[in-house]
Amino acid sequence: MSSKISLSIRGWMALIIGCSLFQSSVNAGVPEILDELELKWERQSFGASQLPIYAVHPSTETPNRNHWDDMVVPSQTLPDSPGWKGIVNHYTVLGLTDTLRTFTANVSDGRVSSHFVVTQREVEGDIKAGEIIQLVPESKRAWHAGVSGWRGINGGGLAGINASFLGIEHVNAGFIQASGRRVYSPYDADQILASIALQEEVVRKYDIAPSYVVGHDDITERKQDPGPLFPWEVFFKKGVGAYLSPEELSQSMVPYWSVKEPLPQGESVEFQLSYMARYGYDLDPRALLTPKNIALIEAFRGHFSCNMRPKAIPLSQHSGTRQDMAWISGLVAKYPRE
């Protein structure tokens, strides 16, 4: 990242940043926490930019602490590496210590994990924002997505999201419920800068298409992370993920995109769901407003049409607004399915 771009992103993020909700249980930095949890680790460099990370070694004495397996599809272009097709972005809800404890717990069932964790500054602790911890080797399948689907990739085993998508967790408190609305915790600017740098490397290394950088809420109705305060436009400006620029969005509204049908004159849930399915969301547009489809519409709004504006997400309006339909028609045209 150039210093000019970094400063502009940092300044932009400063407008939305708030205080962390976490209070660390220990006054320790990342190395001390890893040591406290009896994890073996070393400082390494990741990718062409030599991004510094903490790499946790596989546990040989207690293999149940390794929350991953070998079921990975070999790459078509890189025979010695997994063929990662995408990235799923998450938030942890837990603070760093509890996140690492959960992802390395010595249990035989119910293990969860993610390839990388990006830290947030934590109150009353010496945990800096923007530290990157690798818990699962790139050659292994982490257990982060659960039952989910995207662009025809779904199910379990070698066909599932976990076998095709790397997982990246961001330490973040998630949301609280207040006055019938979710109030989301903001992300740390340094955390976002580090995540962008990491995802730039992953995208470049595995030639990941923009439409395959998604949120957990994009691929399943069961989850809400990373939420509408995850700054997708900032990632897009650095070549990570799909988005529409203001120019593209205004053109799509006139309409500019070569779609088979014009935008409906009024609000249309049928159009919205049909085009969301065409773009990649794992839904049945014929089912209309099922709980699953409603949740995925909300995820779409948090990612695209209402990103960084959670209060703009309607509480009870689930049909496609003009803004929603402009976004999804533009995305379908700009990022067609293979």
Catalytic residue numbers, as ranges: 169
Give the pairing of strands 51-56 and 132-134: parallel
- Spatial contact of 59 and 135, defined as CB atoms under 8 Å apart: no
Where would I find the beta strands (DSSP E) of the chain? 41-46, 51-56, 68-69, 86-91, 116-118, 132-134, 141-142, 149-150, 153-154, 165-170, 175-178, 181-184, 213-215
Query: Rounded to 5 degrees, what are φ and ψ at 307?
Result: -60, 135
- Spatial contact of 68 and 136, defined as CB atoms under 8 Å apart: yes
- Between CA 174 and CA 214 the distance in angstroms is 17
Q: Which of 126, 137, 162 is nearest to 41 (CA)?
A: 137
- Spatial contact of 220 and 146, defined as CB atoms under 8 Å apart: yes
Longest dimension (CA), the chain: 64
Return the bridge partners of 52, or none: 45
- Between CA 17 and CA 325 the distance in angstroms is 30
Give the pairing of strands 86-91 and 165-170: parallel
- Between CA 81 and CA 88 the distance in angstroms is 19
- Spatial contact of 137 and 151, defined as CB atoms under 8 Å apart: no
Contacts for 16 with CB less than 8 Å, ≥ 6 apart: 186, 187, 229, 231, 308
- Between CA 144 and CA 163 the distance in angstroms is 10
